[in-house]
């Protein structure tokens, strides 16, 4: 089913989710998602696990490798739920559209006047 959705280049389910996110952003300027708490809990467990690996490496005199593992755990991408990711992409898309429109207007405004016949 996903293949057919990609081939058609649109998805009713995705469109519905995007519309829902857009409405919530318009109304509250933020996105709330009950899954966020569980996602943060999972992230903490993952980071704790990587830090435990780093501690074991330190105990084995693999200090540099342990440092790399800590760096990796510290620089994991931000925690975002699907709804938050959709909201972020929607905001980026809107800002890009506004930027494109404003640049287009400047080109027209800055163009020298051409003599008419």
Measured CA to CA, the distance from residue 115 to residue 109 in angstroms comes to 16
DSSP line for 14-41: HHHHHHHHHHHHHHHSS---THHHHHHH
The percentage of residues in the chain with a pLDDT greater than 70, rounded to a whole number, is: 78
Comparing 8 with 85, the larger pLDDT belongs to 85
What tens digit of pLDDT does each residue of 70-109 get?
999 999 998 888 888 888 887 788 788 888 777 665 555 5
């Amino acid at each position: 089913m996903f293949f057919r959705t990609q081939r058609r280049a649109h998805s009713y389910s995705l469109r519905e989710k995007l519309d829902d996110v857009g409405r919530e952003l318009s109304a509250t300027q933020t996105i709330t998602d009950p899954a966020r708490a569980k996602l943060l809990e999972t992230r903490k467990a993952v980071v704790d696990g990587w830090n435990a690996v780093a501690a074991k490496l330190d105990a084995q005199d693999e200090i540099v490798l342990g440092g790399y593992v800590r760096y990796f755990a510290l620089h994991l991408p931000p925690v975002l739920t699907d709804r938050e990711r959709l909201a972020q992409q929607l905001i980026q898309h809107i800002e890009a559209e506004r930027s494109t429109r404003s640049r287009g207007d400047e080109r027209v405004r800055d163009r020298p006047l051409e003599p008419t016949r």
